[in-house]
Amino acid sequence: MMAQGYVAPGFERVRGAFDEQLAREELGAGFAAIRDGQVIVDIWGGWTDREQTRPWAQDTIVPVYSTTKGVAALVMALLHDRGDLDYDAPVAALWPAFGAHGKDKVTIAQALAHQAGVPGFIDPIDPDLWLDPPACAAAIAALEPLWPPGSASGYHPLTWGYIAGEIARRATGRSLGAILREDICTPLGIDFQIGTPESDHHRAAEMKKPTRAGAFGEITPPRKAAFFTKWAAPVRGSTQWRKIEIPSANGHATALGVARLYEAYAAGGIINGARVLTQEGFDALTRRIWFGDDLVLPFKIDWRAGVIGNSNRIYGPNAEAFGHSGAGGSVGFGDPAASVSAGYVMNKQSHHVMGDPRSLKLIEALYACL
């Protein structure tokens, strides 16, 4: 199936790259890009189901997994901007139980930069605990850190979202997903949800899991806790999983929804002409908190307050870009140097830990047209 949707004059190369991937590498997918506030690409194609009976539509949504984190980071930055929370304050100031086992000095900024030392559960848990966010947050708060907090980063694939969600709830009395919906997405007409109501589940594409695991190297305790136990994640795709809020992992969106929210990273806190963050708030969100080897991910990483700096050049050629990737291949990024943001979503997951070749090809084609 060929791509459907809109491509601005001069960006036909992006459609060509997308069509080639649809024919060879995808089940279904979408790609969107925005420049200076204007949509320059919004295309989709393929199938939403493994049996290839339901075509991908303009309003098809798909779980974007950890690409959700860059969106949740925007919400946390909004709360910092409003004075509801302070990045430099200890998490335990809002959430005293989090201070257990020497985590009392972990700041909100450090927690958002994956430095709290609790990337997952070493000891067995019932995987259904992940489906009960308040109980899961309490269990995470009680964990002993796997390294001295603040001394290193170690990617928190799921626990990050429960920590951020609990901080947001305690700071405002509202859930992170509700703040995203009520304060950003509904007013600006953006199709991105953390906590997707059943009324929208019919729009969600089925996911096809990767055929092999990613290459992480030696399975150290932090990597084991994060990814390599039978209880490291809940069963995904259920009605309950889609409905609850996991700000690290279960955002559902179109490619255009991803591109619109990551536009904030390209435009200094502005989305579709509306200022969502002050310049000071944007600067606080995007200041470097940690750069170096990660204890979970098998490479150096440039952590900001929940989003990744582009030191590895997987979000285009410019070092000034910020982005986040999701399990299996999804991507969102914003590049202030080029005034461009983009979102790539798909339902055939790959094994690449980060830098999926499909997104890299589309991003390369996009920049070739700028």
**DSSP of 219-274:** --HHHHHHTSSTTSSPPPSSHHHHHS--TTT-EEE-HHHHHHHHHHHHTTSEETTE
Known catalytic membership, residue 66 = yes
Beta bridge partners of 234: none
> Is-contact 179 78, C-beta < 8 A?
yes
Name the DSSP class of 102. G
Q: How far apart, in whole angstroms, are the C-alpha atoms of residue 248 and residue 68?
A: 6
Catalytic residue among 66, 175, 248, 330: 66
> Is-contact 75 245, C-beta < 8 A?
no
Contacts of 103 (CB under 8 A, 6+ apart): 91, 92, 116, 117, 118, 141, 145, 149
For residue 101, the SS3 value is helix
Q: How far apart, in whole angstroms, are the C-alpha atoms of residue 234 and residue 121?
A: 13
Virtual torsion, Cα 276, 279, 285, 291, nearest 10 deg: 150
- Residues involved in catalysis: 66
